[in-house]
Every structure is written in C-alpha cells, then in structure tokens.
Amino acid sequence: MLTQEQKFELLIEGVVAKGYAVCDDFLEPHEVENLLSTFTKRYQSGKFREASIGKQSEAHKAALIRGDEILWLETNSIDVAERMLLNKNQAFVDYLNQTCYLGIVDTEIHFAKYDIGKFYRRHRDTFQAQKGRILSVIYYLNPNWIPENGGNLIIYTSENGIEKGIVIEPLAGRLVCFESEKLEHEVSEAFAERFSVTGWLLNRG
C-alpha cells in the first residue's frame, strides 16, 4: 500500500511525463462508501442540476454535448465524507505547490452523476469563461464496475503526430489527474449509473 506522499509522486510523475496520471486506491473503500452515501442523500434532496456549457440560451446545445447532473461542493462543508475528500484534495494541492511551484490558489469541485445513456462529448476543461484551470482531477465512486457498463474516460494524446485515445475505466477509489488546457477528453456512453467527483485546480489565470 502506497503512502499518501507516494501517491502524490506517482500522479506528478505521470502528469510530467504524459500529461495525465492514474492512481488506483487513492480513496479507500470505506471512503468511497461514505461519499456515495452523501452523494445519494444530496441527489435525493433534489439539489443536483443539469450541467451546462455556457449561457442558459445554449441549454439545448448542452444536452447534445453532455448529459451529467452536478452539485458543487461547498468548501466549508461539515459533512464528514465531503470534508475528507476536500482535505485530501487540498493536501494534494499543498504538495503540488511545495514541490512543483504551480501557484494553485483555488479549487472547484462538484459531484457528477451520469444516468444510463448519458455521455460527455470530446472537449477541453478550459475555455474563455473559466481561465486559470491548470489541472483536472476526477475521483471515481463506482464499486463493482465492469467493462460492459461503459462510461469510460477517454483522454486524447499525441505522439509523433499520431493521436491515441487512452481509455480509463471509472473504478471506485481511482483518481485521474491531467492537464486541463492541453488534453481533450470525453466520457463514453454509460450503461449503468455512474458517480464521480470532478475538480479543477486553479492558478490566477
């Protein structure tokens, strides 16, 4: 079992070498279970909203591009599961700032739920309205996920002018980190309910 610092180093090495990194078991099974419990409670309370890609007038266009429902986490949340995740995420931010001097000054984090048949077409995580995102992080909360469930993250990289799609399954406890500005990615159609926590680490833009 890797220590937290070793997990951080694994992520940093991957991002430096390839622009993305995957760390399995970043969240322990009981942490995933607790987050799912809070996730379900929040969802059943009707707090989630359909995600958008811009202005409200583009709602129809958004539905053709992405189908997830989201709920932003409050940075001062006192929920035990949310607090655990926020603290782990902040520990990663602090480590990045201390070792890589990235100047991360803020974070954005939300729950994301994909119902059966939903997806998110190929895109980048940075655009005019949201400058300053330097790293994207995704924490997966899907126990017993199988390939037939789809819902994979696909990150597009290029080597020697040849594009390649890296397929990453949304397995429980897994953390994926990648460069927000450089790497296009998508979520393939889900054939089972899919749960995650997505965040961005921001500098001053």
* Residue 190 contacts residue 118 (beta carbons within 8 Å): yes
Tell me how far apart the alpha carbons of residues 39 and 194 are, in angstroms, rounded to a whole number: 12
This prediction's pTM = 0.93
User: Domains in the chain and their CATH numbers?
Assistant: 4-202 (2.60.120.620)
Q: How far is CA 109 from CA 2, 15, 50, 70, 167, in A?
A: 25, 20, 15, 10, 23
Q: Give pLDDT tens digits for 24-55.
A: 999 999 999 999 999 999 999 999 999 876 54
Q: How far is CA 32 from CA 38, 80, 142, 150, in A?
A: 10, 12, 8, 20
Q: What is the pLDDT of residue 57?
A: 43
Phi, psi of 18 (to 5 degrees): -125, -10
